[in-house]
Amino acid sequence: MNMAGTETGDVILAARNIAKSFGGVHALKGVNFDVRAGQVTTLFGENGAGKSTLMKILSGVLQPSSGQILLDGNPVEFNSTSEAAAYGVSIIHQELSLATNLNVRDNIFLGREIHSAKGVDYAEETRQTQAIMDDLEEAIDPLVPVDSLRLGQQQIVEIARALSVNSRILIMDEPTSALSAAEVTVLFGVINELKTRGVSIVYISHHLEEALQVTDEAVVLRDGSMVASAPRDEINLAWVVQKMVGRHFDLGTPPEFDQDCAPALEIRDLSIRMVAAGGKAVTDLNLSVRPGEITCIYGLMGAGRTELLECLAGRIPAESGEILLRGHDISDLGIPERIRNGLVLVPEDRQRDGLVQAMSVGRNLSLASILDFCRGLLVSDRREREIVNRAIREVTVKTDGPDAPVSSLSGGNQQKVVIGKMLATSPSVMVLDEPSRGVDVGAKGEVFRLLADHAEKGLAVIYSTSEVEECIAIAHRIIVMHRGRIVAEFSNDATKEEIMAASGEAVIA
């Protein structure tokens, strides 16, 4: 890493009048952006504001339609990520880009293997991988296949790969979206260590309070334009939210529901075996949710939240216990049968499990309702269009139309497509695993208002989250899990400290 002649605070990378268009869509409109040596510049903005587009230009993934990039005051062109990396610019993408068929070590050194006289020096690669994992305080075996890791662990591998390059400028696009609070604390320690070495960090996160802990300067994008910038000591959370969305914001309140009606969903003595190891992910869990009730499940990584929700949806089997949907045992039913009976899942990883990237917005929205417009080999295009158009209206997807590629949408709108797809089946129970992951504050509010609106119509909602503020926002009840068991239950007047303490989590100052 060559930092000669660069003092902390000096501008080392600059974007000047950067514009980027995709057809008729202007993603960036003459943006000016500075990256300073040894500092963290945090880029705030709603989904679709242009943050990821700007970062992809700075890291060589995309080329600007117009404008200029300056490195150490000199014009440069990054025609690929490898060219950007050669200049010392690396990026951790929001959506994981790992080769899941390879192990952790091979992912970290993919395309830049360490060679010796005898060929690839796998022993040295393993040693360096283990050293990075030790720095990140992660007990991940360098030789374990990536596809056997949970999403949060895969996020750690993505971060480790970027850290292994020893870049001058490290762009972090949603690096903590799948991390526990303890892992976030470790990552922030790593960021502070990188700063002392003179490394510049560009940080993007929808976890606003979390991002403010590490930022030195905040920059806000809205609709492809820079609308504000200020040093950390001049801003607070309210300033960020107001600049992002142009108004003050909250996630709403829980709707009224009938507490005396029969449960929509009952879970009785449910136990789930761990997928990749011995022991239980969930042990003897009991829970019931009524129509119109919104229940939040909170817990650290490894608490069993995802296993519970995936078992309810039929993705993984129960070892023992019962799952009753409106009084009927559905424990032996497969995923399609559970959907037809009214229980649907919005998965944690929308890219891998929630969307078909090669399909259009409309085809994704209608996929789970295919039996409603198919009769044998015949397809009713009119009926499909009705389902798709209604879903686009109800979940307010911002798209050029049902024929637009789903991959062209922002993260928040992709999440609304996944939710809209499942709502189109007219469910009685919806379970959502981290529904706001990678979603900005504006889209997050839209998602939670959508859930509250449907709960008011009788939909039973269960969602998991790793953000305490989301527990308190619209949930009637907050269930805290720890090591596969329910350890506490709160109403929505609980404090952040009470919820985090029950989960075994240290409160971040």
Strands 320-325 and 265-273: antiparallel
28 pLDDT above the threshold of 70: yes
Higher pLDDT pick, 185 / 455: 455
| Residue 406 CB coordination number (10 Å) | 24
Q: CA-to-CA distance for 283 and 414, rounded, in angstroms?
A: 34
In sequence order, the β-bridge partners of residue 31 are: 18
With b for 16 or more beta-carbon neighbours within 10 A and e for fewer, the 356-386 pattern comes to eeeebbbbbbbebbeebbeeeeeeeeeebee
Beta carbons of 214 and 203 less than 8 angstroms apart? yes
pLDDT in tens, 138-148: 888 999 999 88
pLDDT-above-70 percentage for the chain: 92
Q: CA-to-CA distance for 146 and 102, rounded, in angstroms?
A: 6
Looking at every residue in the chain, the average pLDDT score rounds to: 85
> Binning pLDDT at 50, 70 and 90, where does residue 176 land?
confident
Mean pLDDT calculated for residue range 348-366 = 83
Q: CA-to-CA distance for 482 and 496, rounded, in angstroms?
A: 16
Which of the listed ranges 105-114, 366-375, 395-404 does the model predict with the highest average pLDDT?
105-114
Task: List, as one string, the DSSP characters of 418-436.
Answer: HHHHHHTT--SEEEEESTT
Beta carbons of 39 and 200 less than 8 angstroms apart? yes
Mean pLDDT calculated for residue range 335-348 = 92
Higher pLDDT pick, 391 / 323: 323
Angle at 199 between CA 193 and CA 204, to 5 degrees: 90
Please tell me whether residue 43 adopts helix, strand or coil conformation.
strand
In the CATH scheme, what architecture does the domain 265-503 have?
3-Layer(aba) Sandwich (3.40)
Mean pLDDT calculated for residue range 163-177 = 83
Residue 385: its pLDDT value, please?
84
Q: CA-to-CA distance for 427 and 12, rounded, in angstroms?
A: 53
Tell me: domain 11-245, CATH 1.10.1780.10, correct? no
| Residue 270 CB coordination number (10 Å) | 22
| Residue 215 CB coordination number (10 Å) | 22
Residue ranges per structural domain of the chain? 11-245, 265-503
Residue 275: its pLDDT value, please?
62
Cα diameter, the chain: 75
At 328, list the tokens: 């009927």
Angle at 204 between CA 199 and CA 205, to 5 degrees: 130
Mean pLDDT calculated for residue range 425-443 = 84
451 pLDDT above the threshold of 50: yes
265-503 shares the fold of 11-245: yes
Beta carbons of 421 and 160 less than 8 angstroms apart? no
pTM: 0.60
Beta carbons of 267 and 304 less than 8 angstroms apart? no
Q: CA-to-CA distance for 312 and 293, rounded, in angstroms?
A: 17
Beta carbons of 157 and 147 less than 8 angstroms apart? no
Residue 509: its pLDDT value, please?
38
Residue 43: its pLDDT value, please?
92
Give the CA distances from residue 172 to residues 46, 95, 232, 238, 284, in Å, rounded to whole numbers and listed in that order: 16, 11, 18, 23, 40
pLDDT in tens, 105-163: 999 998 888 898 889 999 999 999 999 888 888 888 999 999 888 777 887 888 888 87
| Residue 319 CB coordination number (10 Å) | 15
